[in-house]
Amino acid sequence: MSMEEFKDRNVGVQNYRMLDLEPNPETGMDKFKQVVKRSVKLELFTGLKVTFREMFNALFRGEMHTTKYPFEKLPISPRYRAIHEMKRLLESGHYRCIGCGLCEKICIANCIRMDTRYDENQRKEVSEYTINFGRCIFCGYCAEVCPELAIVHGGRYETASEQRASYSTFEDMLTPLDQLAQQSEYPGFGAVSADADEKIKKTPLAY
Amino acid sequence: MDGYIVGTIIKAILVLAIISALAGFGTYIERKILAFMQRRLGPMHVGPYGLLQLAADGIKLFTKEDFIPSGANKFIFMLAPVITAATAFIALAAVPLLPEFNLFGIEVRPIISDLNIGILFVLGMMAAGLYGPLLAGMSQRNKWGLLGSARTAIQFLSYEVVTGLSLLAPIMIVGSLSLIDFNNYQSGGITHWLIWQQPLAFILFIIAGFAETNRTPFDLLEHEAEIVAGYATEYSGMRWGMFFIGEYANMITIGFLAALIFFGGFNSWGFIPGGLAIILKVSFFFFLMLWVRASWPHIRPDQLMWLCWKVLMPLAVINVTLTGLWMMI
């Protein structure tokens, strides 16, 4: 399935067609005529034809619509907003989060809680970072406000778990170090646009 | 004579076992066909291609609580499903299921009893089966059940008339009521099938057959959207299962009747041997019932009665009259 279907939001411009329904018969003779016409035209067999065609297409032309869900999954939009992910810097593998606290500030559900401290190099490091997913409304403001593209939304929508705390600590959300090569940028809410490079202008030094 | 009795008992047990197994298998086929026609997969997870779903359903039905509502007439409530299941199987007693064959040197005739009034017996038993839904609905002290049994009365009683009248013309042509005679009459190949002489009777019979087996588009008795489950509202467990088995056995019976009376029965069909031919024909009629269920909406009770008394019955009478005139000339 291509992404075109997700991008096509123009629901109002398809070719709708009015059904050419006949008016309801008024008199007994009209009813009789309608019955005779329908019987002679074998309208009922059109219905049989349609269902048989669907069965044939489903069985032999691969148009079965079922997705065996736990085993197969439909592709979701890359902009889908599910459980958050914490990204790392590609070169060093260090987490991108600079501990600015903007996500905590902007969170309208008040579900992000973070603590920071200065490490031995006088750099800010994140000592505590949790998101309460019982409260999170997945609005995407945290991803939008993050200046470092550090917190983004991932595609993990199966969030049933035994504990409320699952998935929600910093380490759970952080890209595992061995999968750093597969880390991809998030194209959704708050991401840099595709033509961001062209838009960058050099700041004049004399300014 | 002893051999005859023993043979009959063996045949009766075999028919009971095979047809009730087929009735269970029919539910699986029905779910699969309906699913395919809606581009779904149907049962898939219990066993290969969901085949063991049958066993799972059976276990569920047997272990479910046997529930009798407090206001119900207990005896009739318990009796009603037995009537449906029993009459459905008794009706099969006069139906020749397969051609004769030799087993260990004994010639076996796969009919429990070749009655000389075979068709009347089958139709009578299927008509007696209407007491099942009727009594079930009235005994359970449930308004949905009462509506269901009222619909049973109007539907089954009216369509008995059409079934009988539509079969009258083929009976006049063949001159016998035994289904074996019907089969032998059509032994001359596909051109001798009664469908070519009596197409109208076949259409009337199949419509009435759909009504008598309570299939869409005439499934008014337990139509979920209107009257919850109709006569079966208060039933659970194996009692409900007996209604179900009865309904599917009736579908198989109607399939056999249509194949025997109009489609050449178990005569060999070209290179296809007779036994396989009738199984193919019955399977087609079974498939047709599922196909129709997937395709057509069901009709209102008043439309049902209109169709029966104002369209089908006059057509049947005209058909009988024309057949009689044609036979005289």
Are A132 and A166 found together in one domain? Answer: yes
> Are the C-beta atoms of B156 and B231 separated by less than 8 Å?
no
CA B27 remoteness from chain centre? 14
Give me the residue from B36, B296, B311 closest to A44, CB to CB: B296
For residue range B176-205, what is the model confidence (pLDDT) as tens digits?
Answer: 888 888 888 887 777 778 788 888 888 889
Residue A188 lies in a domain: yes
Q: ipTM exceeding 0.85?
A: no
For residue range B52-82, what is the model confidence (pLDDT) as tens digits?
Answer: 888 888 888 888 888 888 888 888 888 888 8
Among candidates B139, B125, B128, B155, which has minimal Cα distance to B216? B155
Are A147 and A186 found together in one domain? Answer: yes
Predicted confidence at residue B304, as pLDDT, reads: 84
Compute the nearest-CA separation of B40 from chain A (Å).
Answer: 5
Tens-binned pLDDT, residue by residue, of chain A (207 aa): 566 666 666 666 667 788 888 788 888 888 888 888 887 888 788 888 888 888 888 888 888 888 888 888 888 887 888 888 888 888 888 888 888 889 999 999 998 888 999 888 888 888 888 888 888 898 888 888 988 888 888 888 887 878 777 777 788 888 888 888 788 777 777 777 778 788 887 777 776
Q: What is the dihedral of CA B53, B54, B58, B60, to 10 degrees?
A: 20
Burial A29-59 (b: 16+ CB within 10 A, else e): eeeeeeeeeeeeeeeeeeebeebbebbeebe
Give the Cα separation of B85 and B246 in Å (integer). Answer: 4
Asked if A8 has any chain B CB less than 8 Å from its own CB, the reply is: no
Residue A3 lies in a domain: no
Are A90 and A56 found together in one domain? Answer: no
Are A182 and A103 found together in one domain? Answer: yes
Which is more confident, A110 or B118?
A110
Residues of A in contact with B44 (CB under 8 A): 68
Predicted confidence at residue B279, as pLDDT, reads: 87
Are A107 and A154 found together in one domain? Answer: yes
**Quick check: A63 and B292 CB within 8 A?**
no
Residues of B in contact with A51 (CB under 8 A): 37, 291, 294-295
| Stretch B161-179: mean pLDDT | 86
Are A188 and A99 found together in one domain? Answer: yes
Are A168 and A122 found together in one domain? Answer: yes
Are A38 and A102 found together in one domain? Answer: no
Are A29 and A102 found together in one domain? Answer: no
Q: Is the pLDDT of residue B306 over 80?
A: yes
Predicted confidence at residue A13, as pLDDT, reads: 67
**Quick check: A50 and B295 CB within 8 A?**
yes
Give me the residue from A52, A66, A68 closest to B291, CB to CB: A52
Asked if A54 has any chain B CB less than 8 Å from its own CB, the reply is: yes
Asked if A55 has any chain B CB less than 8 Å from its own CB, the reply is: yes
Residue A88 lies in a domain: yes
Residue A170 lies in a domain: yes
Asked if A77 has any chain B CB less than 8 Å from its own CB, the reply is: no
Q: How many CB pairs under 8 A join A and B?
A: 40
Are A127 and A55 found together in one domain? Answer: no
User: How many structural domains does chain A have?
Assistant: 2
Tell me whether residue B251 is exposed, middle or buried, using C-beta atoms within 10 angstroms of its C-beta: 0 to 12, 13 to 18, 19 or more: buried
Angle separating helix axes B143-174 and B131-139, nearest 10 degrees:
170
Asked if B306 has any chain A CB less than 8 Å from its own CB, the reply is: no
Region label for A95, one of left (φ > 0), alpha (ψ between -120 and 50) or beta (otherwise): beta
Give the CATH number for residue A175: 3.30.70.3270
Q: Which domain range does residue A185 map to?
A: 84-192
Are A60 and A139 found together in one domain? Answer: no
Mutation to test the B interface, candidates A39, A43, A55, most B Cβ within 10 Å: A55
> Are the C-beta atoms of B243 and B250 separated by less than 8 Å?
no
Predicted confidence at residue A1, as pLDDT, reads: 54
For chain B, the domains span 2-328
List the structure tokens of B269.
């069909």
